[in-house]
Amino acid sequence: MSTSTHDHDREEGLSFQPKFDAAGLVTCVATDVATGDVLMVAHMNDEALRKTIATGNAWYFSRSRNALWRKGESSGQTQRVVEMRMDCDQDAVWIRVEQIGAACHTGRRSCFYRKVESAAGDVSLSFVDAERLFDPEKIYRK
């Protein structure tokens, strides 16, 4: 099969063919099914994808810890997957989730709690929707 036929299949076909990167990962975007807000961007390896599909709860692969991880296993802040979609070239996954509490390890609902602002060429951030739902120091005790 030529590369272009293969690419065409992956884009227009109905077979599930995740395109993992050199590290064996796809990018996953989780949005809040209630608000449409992006909660987090993370990664899944083949096992995380399979477990997410099989269980209906989000599993990820942590690049920093080099480990499979069930969302909420430490914090209790789980994600129930309502829908999963693949993108055109199948290297990214979008899950719409029911988020229990906070998606972010900082204790916020979403990891995207700062807005980019630009004034006279200076770029800075400002907090938005940044209240904490839990205290990470209490939740992630060593």
Which residues does the annotation place in the binding site for Zn(2+)? 88, 104, 111
- Both tokens of 62, joined, read 């942590």
48 contacts 59 by C-beta, under 8 angstroms: yes
Distance CA 112, CA 124 (A): 14
- Both tokens of 102, joined, read 């906070």
Which residue number, 41 or 76, has a Cβ lying nearer to its own copies? 41
Which residue number, 84 or 100, has a Cβ lying nearer to its own copies? 84
The enclosing H or E element of 97 equals strand 92-99
User: Min. distance of Cβ 95 from its own copies in angstroms?
Assistant: 9
Which residue number, 100 or 111, has a Cβ lying nearer to its own copies? 111
Residues 9-28, mask of contacts with its own copies (x by CB under 8 A): --xxxxxx----------x-
Which residue number, 92 or 133, has a Cβ lying nearer to its own copies? 92
Q: Does 41 bind its own copies (CB under 8 A)?
A: yes
Distance CA 79, CA 34 (A): 12
Number of residues that bind its own copies (CB under 8 A): 43
Distances (CA, A) of 54 to 19, 41, 50, 90: 19, 21, 6, 19
Q: How many CB atoms lie within 10 A of CB 45?
A: 19
Q: Rule CB under 8 A: which residues touch its own copies?
A: 11-16, 27, 29, 31, 35-38, 40-41, 53-54, 83-88, 92-94, 104-106, 108, 111-116, 118, 123-128
